[in-house]
Structure 1
Amino acid sequence: MLSRVADQLYWFSRYLRRSENTARLVGVGSLLQLDLPRSVRFAWRPMIATVGAEELFLDVHPDADDADVLDFLLLDARNPSSLRASVDSAREVLRGIRDALPQEVWEAVNDLHLYIDADGERVLTRRYRLDFITRITDGCLKVSGLLAANVSRDIGFQFLRLGTAIEQADMTTRIIDAGASGLVKPRNEEDREAYQNMQWMAVLRALAAYQMYRRHVRQRVSAAHALRFLLHNAEFPRSVQFCLTRVQRILPAMPPRPAVERALTRATGLVRQADPALLAAGDPARFMDEAQIYLGRLHAAIAEGYFMG
């Protein structure tokens, strides 16, 4: 397979998963707003740091309010990690490899693009936000289903799977980061633990993980239990450990690249050695930042090993 086509397949699956999870990230805040009393202060702003775009956001919105944050995360084409930018990037990449994937995939991605253009502004109003997020996540899952059901299991499919696994691991850490980033300001210290647990409940629900959490953990939601499930569970497809194990299983089907295997071993070791109880008692966001750095190094090794030259 040409390295150019492999690169495009890898990035198409990354942009698709990024689109879904950017919607899910906003879903964390939207679900929390539904559950919280009106007297409790809720802040969207920490989510900008979660996606690593604070400097760009301040350039674009020096005097920002909540509507600016939502617009930047979801609709602003100037933000390269926004929902709109991710869907548009997936569409543009797909335009160059339409012969490699079923026609239905192009139609489904184009439907998402048209929906955001036509109805995107509705997401800025609280009344329609969850409907918009559900429509986006369902559309992305439809594309994932088409890829899983209708694409031959050749080397191109392995690059699709590789992009999906790397992006999902990264976005799971970012959504966890959002849950640990102080979106809720309790009125007094006695309420802090209760509201923190509500944040973790929202994280699980946004990742479609709450039912599987109840099935595997069988404990009330807490920071430590949620972190253990989302970092270490070997059976839930959105957990970081599951995604890294998937990469481990994909690599034998691809040309050997020792640098990729080394980067994967380091990222896997970091996640496995994490102590969820210590993270919950300390600063989970700092660990998530470190995990994203390791995942970035794994991506760099993949790009150098398979797409350059």
Structure 2
Amino acid sequence: MLSRVAENLYWFSRYLRRAENTARLVGVTNQLQLDLPRSVRFAWHPLLDTLGAGETFHALHPDSAAAVVESEAVHFLLLDERNPNSMLSALKAARDSLRSVRETVPAELWERVNGTFLWVGENGERALMRRYRMDLINRVVDDSLTATGILTSNVSHDIGFQFLRLGTAIEQADMTTRLIDAGASGLIRPRAAEELDAYQATQWMSVLRSLAAYQMYRRHVRQRVSARQALQFLLQNAEFPRSVTYCLAGIRHTLSLMPPKGRAPEEALRHTLALAREADADELVESGLREWMDRIQLGLAQLHHAVGEAYFRG
């Protein structure tokens, strides 16, 4: 397979998963705000920062230093093409990557992805209103899952498919760590500091739901949501497809099916997998998660770089 084709398949799967996760995240925060009492406000700053979009947002909205306006944050995360990680930017990048390799994938995949991008472009601004917001989010999530189903069921599981799996797993692991970080940073801001503990479970429940993990958490853990249990589940559960450990184990299996290209990808993966598996949830909840999540994200960045050097530029 040409390295150009492999790289486009890899990036297509990353961008598609990024669009889906961003849509899910905004959908859950939308519902969370409706559920919170008026005395409690939702903080957009931690969410923007952990998604790597804080600096860009504040540069575009200089008046937001004191408080982020909901409508501006939602537009920035969903539809602002000046934000390279917005849902629309991710859909556009996925469509552009897929366009150059259309001959290698089923025609219905291109029709689905292209149709989603065009629909969002035509209906997105209207759908930003709270009344219609979930229509936009559900359309993108459903179409992304349909595209994933087409790839899983209708594409030969050859070397090209392995690059698709590789991109999906790396992107999901990265997004999961970012959402864990956002949850720990304090998305819910009660007026009185002593009320924060009362809302901690609600905050972590929103993180689980943003990853479509709440029902599986209840099935595996069989306890009420707590920061320690939620963190342990999202980092270390070996059976849930969006947990960091599951994604990294999937990458290890995928690399074993691909032509060997040196040891750099395996070494980067081994280091990152050890960070996820050895994390002490109790200690991290007490001392703070950000540094540990940053280390995992750095490991994922090194893995991405090693894969690029080995298969796309080697």
- Residue 131 of structure 1 deviates from its aligned partner by 2.8
Question: 1:49-64 to 2 correspondence within 5 Å?
Answer: 49-64=49-64
Structure 1: stretches of 5+ with no match in the other structure: none
Deviation at 1:123, TM superposition (A): 4.3
4+ residue runs over 4 A deviation: none
Taking the TM superposition and a 5 Å limit, the aligned residue runs for 1:243-282 are 243-256=247-260, 257-282=262-287
How many angstroms apart in 2 are the aligned matches of 1:289 and 1:32?
26
Aligned counterpart in structure 1 of residue 173 of structure 2, from 151, 169, 174: 169
Instruction: Return 24-33 or 296-305, whichever deviates more.
Output: 24-33
Amino acid at match of 1:81: N
- Give 1:204's aligned residue: 208
Q: What is the RMSD of the two structures over their aligned residues, measured on CA atoms?
A: 1.3
Contact map agreement 2:45 2:54 (CA 8 A) in 1: no
Q: What is the aligned residue count?
A: 309
Q: Aligned with 1:235: secondary structure?
A: coil
CA distance in 2, matches of 1:120, 1:195: 32
Aligned to 1:223: 227
Q: Partners of 1:295 and 1:25 in 2: how far apart?
A: 21
Amino acid aligned to 1:304: E
- Alignment-derived partner of residue 303 in structure 1: 308
- Which digits, 9 at most, give the CA deviation of each residue in 1:161-218, with x for residues without a partner? 0001100100111122221222211232332112111011111112111111011000
Deviation larger for 244-253 or 47-56: 47-56
SS at match of 2:185: coil
Q: Could you tell me which residue of structure 1 aligns to residue 36 of structure 2?
A: 36
Corresponding position of 2:47: 47
Match of 1:157 in 2: 161
In the TM superposition, residue 143 of structure 1 has moved relative to its aligned partner by 0.3
> 1:35-90 CA deviation, whole Å, 9 max, x = no partner?
21122121222221011122222221111322221111111111111111100001
- Conserved in 1, the CA contact under 8 Å of 2:39 and 2:190? no
Cα separation, partners in 2 of 1:295 and 1:278, compared to 1, 3 Å: same
CA distance, structure 2, for counterparts of residue 272 and residue 284 of structure 1: 15
Partner deviation per Cα, 1:227-278 (whole Å, 9 max, x = no partner) = 0100000000000000000001111111213000000001001111111111
Q: Which residue of 2 aligns with 1:192?
A: 196
Deviation at 1:129, TM superposition (A): 2.2
Once the two structures are overlaid, the 10-residue window that deviates more, 30-39 or 87-96, is 30-39
Q: CA deviation at 1:130?
A: 2.6
1:4 and 2:7 matched: no
Q: Is residue 122–residue 132 contact of structure 1 (8 Å, CA) maintained in 2?
A: no
Displacement, 1:25?
Answer: 2.1
**1:27 deviation in Å?**
2.7
Partner of 2:17: 17
- In the alignment, structure 1 residue 124 sits paired with structure 2 residue 131: no
Structure 2: tracts of 5 or more residues without a match: none
Give 1:94 shift: 0.7
Q: Give the Å deviation of 1:285.
A: 2.9
C-alpha displacement of 1:219 = 0.7
Q: Which region of structure 1 is more displaced relative to structure 2, 152-161 or 181-190? A: 181-190
Q: TM-score, normalised by structure 2?
A: 0.95
> Secondary structure, in 3 states, of the residue corresponding to 2:62?
coil
Q: Distance in 2 between matches of 1:123 and 1:227?
A: 33
Residue type at the aligned position of 1:183: L
